[in-house]
Amino acid sequence: MNYLELLQLATPEAIVVAAALLILTIALLTGHRSAQAGVSLTRRGTAGGRHTSTEGAPMGVCVAVAALGLALAAAAVVRLTIRGAFFNEMLVLSPLNSLFKFLVLVLAFFTLLLTLGERSLPNEGEYVAIILLATVGLMLLIGSEELLMIFIGLELTGLSLYVLTAFDRASLLSAEAGLKYFLFGSMASAFTLFGLSLIYGTCGTTGLSAIAAEVKGRPLEPLLFLALVMTLIGFAFKIAAAPFHFWAPDAYQGGPVPSAAFIASGSKVASFVVLAKILLLGFGSEAGSALWHAFVAGWQPVLAILAALSIVIGNLVALVQKNVRRLLAYSAVAHAGYTLLGLIANGREGFSATLFYTTIYALTLLGAFGVVAFVRQTSGGDNLTDFAGLRWRSPLLAGCMAVFMLSLAGLPPLAGFFGKFYLFAATMRAGAGHGLLWLVVVALFGSLISLYYYLIVLKVIFLDKAPSTAGAQLDFASGDLMSRFVATTLAAAIVLIGVAPSSVLDPILAALQ
């Protein structure tokens, strides 16, 4: 296979990379002109008390180019009908991979819209380009079934997200969040790489299908079990599962809102897809058992412990949060535990339940961050008190936030209800004698707790009076258009998916055939 054939197979990724390079070029050229304009403006002063920003145009141009690149990449994903595994499974083209590459591109597009409201960010062009590079990393993650390429995708994504988290140089919280994210992420990468090296040492290959053939029919060796545990530790960090979640609250709160939104949505989707493929495709025969009456060593008991800890710790700590972004972070820890139930259930039904739930969760949380972005732009903060009186100041966004919170709580008829129902039902049906009932009970208990703190957010929005007066109302009325567009579009999607879940579930089931 020559390079032109390879480029044809990797057309979506190549388009996104080309868009990122073009944006860096535009940012370099316009940044130099803006600097010259800024010097001349400083010398002349501002006429009539008005100040003209020289940074708005580059951001708008860069976002437009990035959005065009994502649209072209999405079209290339749809039009690429070639199927098969290439280069020893380093690149796998399948309906499932194409579906979730398309989803990642959609999430990146909505994240780009949120960047238009971040007026305090320096070097906007570079910020947009790094979002695209993170998107490429996620696409490589989803499109590979070879351990070394998966690790390369993890590192490209991780390095991009570390920079995005610490991008606001004027904020100490952003710098602290980026440093913590980097330190925890570096340690997690070390665990992952060491685990993958042990897998290669015990199996002699790095392709998932070859690994599956190698381990099938033989008992789980202690060294292979250690390799699986170390690999799971690395991925537990990526999905913010307890007790490897300590970076998440700071990253969600300290980083710019678009950065936190992309970490919570796109990164989670890709991480769960690749984790599911590693466990179910590569090590399905080494699952063991997490049944309460028949524990057997394997990756299922490890995931069961991670899921239970995530559900309990995430929901209990979220109860005492006063900042909405930290509340969403601890909520994300709990939802990571819920999503792991589908992998523990194993099989096609459990896999589809995990993919469906992570899809609707990503859309929900990205929409919630759209509301947070709007409130932050208009009130200067994202604490619970900053959401007071949102019902009177922006009824549309208050309604959107209600949709997101109630969907996360799992109330009908929203998408979150069907997602949780599907997950819990798949888990109940897995194993003999309802052996996973204990996990379902823990998940139901966690869902009951979560209802309280989600309702606290809605209580502040709909019942509490805003501390400010008409001036704040004017600020809310003149808020960022793109944040409102993201929130309303995704709220409508959550309602529609809840009414017709087959619109998302059927493509997932078809891709798993």
What local confidence, expressed as pLDDT, does residue 267 receive? 93
What local confidence, expressed as pLDDT, does residue 13 receive? 95
What local confidence, expressed as pLDDT, does residue 7 receive? 85
Instruction: Give the confidence band of 1 by pLDDT, cuts at 50, 70, 90.
Output: low
What local confidence, expressed as pLDDT, does residue 33 receive? 52
Side-chain half-sphere of 274: how many Cα atoms within 13 Å? 34
Strands 91-93 and 289-291: unpaired
What local confidence, expressed as pLDDT, does residue 49 receive? 39
State the sign of the Cα–Cα–Cα–Cα dihedral 350, 356, 359, 364: negative
Span 380-425, pLDDT tens digits? 788 999 999 888 888 999 999 999 999 999 999 999 999 999 999 9
Average pLDDT, the chain: 88
Give the helix/strand (H/E) hosting 296.
strand 294-296
CB 138, CB 270: distance < 8 Å: yes
Calculate Rg over the CA atoms of the chain. Answer: 23
- d(CA 411, CA 414) in angstroms, rounded, equals 6
CB 370, CB 483: distance < 8 Å: yes
For the cut 60, the answer to whether the pLDDT of residue 185 exceeds it is: yes
- d(CA 293, CA 178) in angstroms, rounded, equals 43
For the cut 70, the answer to whether the pLDDT of residue 54 exceeds it is: no
| CA 417 from centre of chain | 20
Question: Could you give the 3-state DSSP secondary structure of residue 285?
Answer: helix
- d(CA 109, CA 181) in angstroms, rounded, equals 24
Overall average pLDDT of the 281-295 stretch: 85
Overall average pLDDT of the 471-495 stretch: 73
Nearest Cα to Cα of residue 286 among 228, 220, 226, 221: 220
- Domain spans, the chain: 10-33+57-284, 287-513
- d(CA 358, CA 419) in angstroms, rounded, equals 9
- d(CA 216, CA 221) in angstroms, rounded, equals 12
Supply the DSSP symbol for 290: E
Nearest Cα to Cα of residue 83 among 94, 75, 74: 94
For the cut 70, the answer to whether the pLDDT of residue 106 exceeds it is: yes
Place of tokens 């008991």: 301
What local confidence, expressed as pLDDT, does residue 180 receive? 93
For the cut 80, the answer to whether the pLDDT of residue 57 exceeds it is: no
- d(CA 184, CA 238) in angstroms, rounded, equals 10
Overall average pLDDT of the 361-365 stretch: 96
Amino acid at 426: A
For the cut 60, the answer to whether the pLDDT of residue 311 exceeds it is: yes
pTM: 0.91
CB 274, CB 150: distance < 8 Å: yes
Is there a cis peptide before residue 507, judged by omega within 30 degrees of 0? no
Position with higher pLDDT, 308 vs 46 = 308
Nearest Cα to Cα of residue 74 among 13, 142, 125, 23: 13
CB 384, CB 253: distance < 8 Å: no
- d(CA 109, CA 65) in angstroms, rounded, equals 11
Compute, in degrees rounded to 10, the torsion defined by CA atoms 25, 142, 327, 483. Answer: 40
Q: Which two tokens stand for residue 104?
A: 């990642």
State the sign of the Cα–Cα–Cα–Cα dihedral 362, 363, 368, 374: positive
For the cut 50, the answer to whether the pLDDT of residue 470 exceeds it is: no
State the sign of the Cα–Cα–Cα–Cα dihedral 274, 275, 276, 278: positive
Span 227-245, pLDDT tens digits? 999 999 999 999 999 999 9
For the cut 50, the answer to whether the pLDDT of residue 310 exceeds it is: yes
Instruction: Please tell me the least confidently modeled range out of 308-317, 332-341, 464-473.
Output: 464-473
Q: Which two tokens stand for residue 459?
A: 């209580």
Place of tokens 């339940």: 353
**Helix crossing, 147-165 with 172-203: angle to 10°?**
170
Instruction: Give the confidence band of 253 by pLDDT, cuts at 50, 70, 90.
Output: very high
What local confidence, expressed as pLDDT, does residue 368 receive? 95
Overall average pLDDT of the 299-304 stretch: 93
Overall average pLDDT of the 121-128 stretch: 85
Overall average pLDDT of the 115-134 stretch: 86
Instruction: Give the confidence band of 467 by pLDDT, cuts at 50, 70, 90.
Output: low
Instruction: Please tell me the least confidently modeled range out of 4-13, 47-56, 373-382, 499-508.
Output: 47-56
